[in-house]
A and B are shown apart, each in its own frame.
Chain A
Amino acid sequence: MGHKVVIVDDSGVTRKIIRKALHMIGLDIEALHECGNGEEALELIRQEPLDLLITDLNMPQMTGVELLKELHETRRAEGMKIIVITSDRNEERLEELQDLEVCAVLNKPFRPESLREAIVQKCHVE
């Protein structure tokens, strides 16, 4: 059975890169959504349970950290695997993610193999 995935990033270029990487690594996808910020993602997740959330941190309106905190507090992240792909290498912020059910953090630019490793080995999604 395919996975339901959402890519959250304010950069359309990055969303396309992640989308392409997901296809390259051969992940079985049933539905692939794209959102430009945390607010849009939250709205989507309220309507439809997802298996995998791939999010940036630095976004307008609602940041990735705000999205993850909201999901954590409302328990909407239960059963969903979360990967952060970000240019933000701030150690303190990355430590903060450990309490927010994040399976893996990738720095931009990333390679498709790194995304595959994060999905399969760290999130245990096949």
Chain B
Amino acid sequence: MDLETLHHEFSSAATEVLQEAAYVFVSPVEIQVHERPNAEERVRIRIPFISDRRKGGFEASATRDLCLKLNAEMLGAEDLEGMEGFQPSEVIGEVLNMVAGLTLSRILEEGETWELGVPETVLEGSFSNTCGDVGVELLLETEEGDCIELSLGVSE
């Protein structure tokens, strides 16, 4: 699987989902030069996938504050009722679920059947995604300066 294509499709899918689902506009940030957000303060989610030709996983992390903003935007900012029972992991999990579905539909080959797992919270360890032979990491910054970290690992 071509790394450049993987990066492009993953990045496009993430940008599209954040815009369409949460009206959040993001720009990619160079990971090397950006101060990596403190892992301990972030909510981290992983979604595994398997196809008949490969397997891998998606990960995302965001601060609780960003999850709250995403939740408000996804439900409509005026909907205070929607904040009841707010679960940051559920919000970032649902965003990642949409990103994963869209990305897989674009990167996997025609006729390749695949299954996406359910979102699971990553409880320990630093944010590292790359659970495969090929890995892509993205750091996307919102207009307000919040960052969402995303990664995708694929093994043939």
Which A residues are closer than 8 A to B by beta carbons? 10-14, 16-17, 20, 58-60, 86-90, 92-93, 107-109
Contacts and interface: CB of A to CB of B under 8 A. Distances in A.
A16 B82 contact: yes
Interface residues of B, number: 29
B90 interface: yes
A92 B113 CA distance: 7
B134 interface: no
B82 A108 contact: no
B97 interface: yes
B77 to A, nearest CB: 12
Interface stretch (B3-11, B98-106, B125-133, B136-144): B98-106
A17 B87 contact: no
Contact of A58 (B20, B79, B116): B116
B116 A20 contact: no
A126 B21 CA distance: 26
B118 interface: yes
B98 A10 contact: no
Contacts of A11: 90, 93-94, 97
A88 B101 contact: yes
Contacts of B116: 58, 87-88
Given A87-B101, A107-B101, A10 B75 contact: no
Interface in B105-123: 105, 111, 113-118
Contacts of B21: 108-109
A89 B98 CA distance: 10
A126 B82 CA distance: 26
A107 B116 CA distance: 14
B148 interface: no
A93 B98 CA distance: 16
B101 A12 contact: no
B104 to A, nearest CB: 7
